[in-house]
């Protein structure tokens, strides 16, 4: 229990040092990760069941060659495509916003440094440390969370494109 409480205390100190911007980065990254986990859940558990359902509907059709039947097939592929692309744009947007939030924290930290310089001059190194700490912590947090988000959003995009192609091919073969 002591290790857990010590870790939570250190996280609280880090969030305190990073200021309000670090809290914004935390909230945005938690939202991004929740959406990433949801998309993988959808891809691995819900999509296969939905594909089986569409394949069953397609196989029950007598006519699979007419113009009308092909439009129905295209509609099925489009429906799966929309459900597969859900939240991907939001994930990419959050991954793009996170470094900007880190940059905002950098600017706020440097403003704090300049405020200390204005009041105390250049002789107060301890006063500078607080602003520089905010600048570095928020920059690092924004970049690290954005990089992981970019990797997984690209991976999800690739998996979604493959799933759409597989869906289209599966409905064409039947």
Q: Looking at the chain, how many residues does it have?
A: 174
What is the number of structural domains in the chain? 1
Q: State the pLDDT at residue 133.
A: 84
Q: How far apart are CA 111 and CA 121, in angstroms?
A: 14
| Domain encompassing residue 48 | 1-173
The pTM score is 0.85
Interval 9-53: pLDDT, tens: 777 777 777 788 889 999 999 999 999 999 999 999 999 999 999
| Gap between the Cα atoms of 116 and 36, Å rounded | 41
Q: For residue 73, what are its two tokens?
A: 């097939």
Residues 131-165: pLDDT tens digits? 888 888 899 999 999 999 999 999 999 999 999 99
Q: How many CA atoms lie within 13 A of 35 on its CB side?
A: 23
């Amino acid at each position: 229990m002591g290790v857990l409480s010590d870790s939570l205390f250190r996280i609280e100190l880090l969030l305190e040092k990073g200021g309000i911007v670090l809290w914004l980065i935390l909230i945005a990254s938690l939202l991004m990760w929740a959406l990433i986990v949801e998309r993988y859940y959808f891809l691995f558990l819900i999509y296969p069941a939905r594909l089986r359902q569409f394949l069953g509907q397609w196989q029950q059709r007598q006519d699979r060659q007419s113009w009308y039947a092909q439009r129905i097939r295209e509609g099925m592929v489009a429906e799966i495509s929309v459900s597969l692309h859900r939240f991907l744009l939001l994930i990419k947007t959050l991954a793009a916003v996170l470094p900007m939030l880190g940059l905002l924290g950098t600017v706020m930290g440097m403003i704090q440094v300049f405020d200390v310089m204005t009041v105390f001059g250049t002789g107060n190194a301890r006063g500078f440390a607080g602003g520089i700490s905010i600048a570095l912590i928020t920059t690092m947090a924004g970049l690290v969370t954005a990089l992981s988000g970019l990797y997984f959003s690209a991976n999800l995009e690739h998996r979604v494109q493959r799933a759409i192609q597989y869906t289209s091919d599966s409905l064409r073969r039947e």
